[in-house]
Amino acid sequence: MNQFLSFVIKESRHILRDRRTMLILFGMPIVLMLLFGFAITNDVKNVRTVVVTSQMDGLTSQAVARLAASEYFDITATAASAGEAEALIRRQKADMAVVFAADFASKRSGLQFIVDASDPNMAQQWTAYATQTLLGGQAQTANLKMLYNPQMKSAYNFVPAIMGMLLMLICAMMTSISIVREKERGTMEVLLVSPVRPLMIIVAKAVPYLALALGILVCILLMARCVLGVPLAGGIGWIFAVSGLYILLALSLGLLISDIASSQLMALLLSAMVLLMPIVMLSGMLFPIESMPVVLQWVSAVVPPRYYIEAMRKLMIMGVGIGDVLKEVAVLAGMTALLLTVALLKFNNRLE
């Protein structure tokens, strides 16, 4: 027990001494939360619009005024012809053009949008908003109700994703590097020859990172609740329990990487490029899984954060009970058991 404690203390010192790494580890979640919470949005806002009209009659100027009054559009120029407007868009001076035909007033038709569609999603939203603004007032046939996220904040979607990514990064990458470093420096030889059991070395290495990960988890949840106003609808207890399971999984993955990698560089590259990239891309944190081709959907089925993020979205945002995320939890538990077994079996308590 004494040995175990001194191991944990040693490992914590390694972490605490490296100020810069600590700063990043705690700064990263805060900055990411702020960025995703405030800066990164898909809202339609400040769209630079060119109005093309040959004659400014009453109805046209009314429509233009409506456009200008809305918070979505900034009218930056008026052009005489569609060609001129297109040139403005090509030169990146405008995002879209609204072309009023000469007979706009009489027929209430002859309206054309010319949109820079290099970002297709935004282009569609712009036209939808512009149509609404110009021709609004039609009878509503549907009553829309946005469940769980009435203000459509992107933070609701991203908070669980950030948790999934950061916990994986800290646990898997940091643990694997710290083990590989001992191999590289030759201290592992002494540790192996000492009377301490190899299993204890590993557990003792994992404990401080577990604590660190929980600290960061608390930090993220506090930020989410207090700064971004994301509800923690589900039970806090379950959120921590599922996160605990996920952290364990990440630690096993880190151990597995350290078994395979022979140098710090390789461990870093393995965790950064082979681990982190698929997580970010295939876990559904940024890009919805159901829009992917079927093959990639299968691949994403083995990416652990997918289930964690899914479970967290349900638990935190939708506030469902643990009963509704049993499937995700079961998958995570199964993966943890598998990875841990493989990692421990592969752990070599000799050199070579």
Partner 1 sequence: MNAIEVDNVSKSYGKTGTSASGTKALDGVCFSVGKGEMFGLIGPDGAGKTSMFRILCTLLLPDEGSASVDGFDIVRQTKEIRRRVGYMPGKFSLYQDLTVQENLEFFATLFGTSLAEGYDSIKAIYSQIERFKGRKAGALSGGMKQKLALCCALIHSPSVLFLDEPTTGVDPVSRKEFWDMLALLKERGITIVVSTPYLDEVRRCHRVAFLDHGRIRGIDKPEIILSRFADIFNPPGISHGRKEAAEDENVIEVEHLVKAFGTFRAVDDITFSVKRGEIFGFLGANGAGKTTAMHMLTGLNQPTGGTGKVAGFDIQTQHEELKKHIGYMSQKFSLYEDLTVAENISLFAGIYGMRKTDIGRKMKEVLKRLNFEEHRDDLVASLPLGWKQKLAFSVAIFHEPRVVFLDEPTGGVDPATRRQFWELIYDAAARGITVFVTTHYMDEAEYCDRISIMVDGKIRALGTPDELKRSFRQPDMDHVFTHLARQATRSSD
Partner 2 sequence: MIIKHLIRKEFLQIRRNAFLPRLILVFPVVIMCVMPWVMNQEVRNVRVCVVDSDRSVLSQRMVHDIEQSDYFIFTGQMPTYRAALKEIERSRTDIVLSIPPHYSRDLALGLRPQVLIAANAVNGTKGSIGSSYLSQIVGSAASAMPTAAVSTLFLYNKHLGYKVFMIPALLAIVMMLMCGFLPALNIVGEKECGTIEQINVTPVAKWQFILAKLVPYWIIGLFVVTVCLVLAWAVYGIVCQGPVLLVYLLAMLLALFFSSLGLLVSNYSDTMQQAILVMWFFVVCLLLLSGIFTPTRSMPDWSYMTTYVNPMHYFIDAIRTVFVRGGDLQSIGHQVLALAGFDVVMCSWAIVSYRKNS
**104 and 61 Cβ atoms separated by less than 8 Å:** no
Residues 44-83: x where in contact with partner 2 by CB under 8 A, - otherwise, as a string: xxxxx-----------------------------------
| Binding of residue 21 to partner 1 (CB under 8 A) | no
**CB closer to partner 1, 198 vs 244:** 198
- What's the gap between Cα 163 and its chain centre? 8
Taking the complex as a whole, the smallest distance from the CB of residue 182 to partner 1 amounts, in Å, to 9
Question: Measuring CA to CA, how many Å separate 238 from each of 131, 211, 216, 324?
Answer: 45, 18, 17, 12
| CA dist., res. 184 & res. 10, Å (int) | 18
How big is the site for partner 1, counted in residues (CB under 8 A)?
Answer: 27
| Binding of residue 344 to partner 1 (CB under 8 A) | no
Phi and psi at 135, nearest 5°, equal: -115, 20
**242 and 305 Cβ atoms separated by less than 8 Å:** no
How big is the site for partner 2, counted in residues (CB under 8 A)?
Answer: 94
| Binding of residue 301 to partner 2 (CB under 8 A) | no
Secondary element (H or E) of residue 51: strand 47-53
Taking the complex as a whole, the smallest distance from the CB of residue 117 to partner 2 amounts, in Å, to 4
Binds 2, which of partner 1, partner 2, none (CB < 5 to 8 A, cut-off by type)? partner 1
| Binding of residue 131 to partner 2 (CB under 8 A) | yes
Q: Of 3-11, 95-103, 305-313, 322-330, which part binds partner 1 (CB under 8 A)?
A: 3-11
| Binding of residue 192 to partner 1 (CB under 8 A) | yes
**CB closer to partner 2, 107 vs 350:** 107
Out of 49, 51, 64, 116, the only residue in the binding site for partner 2 (CB under 8 A) is 116
| Binding of residue 154 to partner 2 (CB under 8 A) | yes
Binds 39, which of partner 2, partner 1, none (CB < 5 to 8 A, cut-off by type)? partner 2
| CA dist., res. 205 & res. 2, Å (int) | 15
Out of 120, 137, 186, 293, the only residue in the binding site for partner 1 (CB under 8 A) is 186
Residues 160-189: x where in contact with partner 2 by CB under 8 A, - otherwise, as a string: --------------x--x---x--------
Out of 45, 93, 185, 327, the only residue in the binding site for partner 1 (CB under 8 A) is 185
| CA dist., res. 190 & res. 346, Å (int) | 20
Out of 5, 35, 218, 338, the only residue in the binding site for partner 2 (CB under 8 A) is 35
Other C-beta atoms lying within 10 Å of the C-beta of residue 282:
21
**285 and 164 Cβ atoms separated by less than 8 Å:** yes
Question: Measuring CA to CA, how many Å separate 244 from each of 163, 194, 213, 232, 240?
Answer: 12, 31, 9, 17, 6
| CA dist., res. 308 & res. 245, Å (int) | 9
**235 and 325 Cβ atoms separated by less than 8 Å:** no
Residues that bind partner 1 (CB under 8 A): 2-3, 5-7, 9-10, 13-14, 17-18, 185-187, 189-197, 349-352
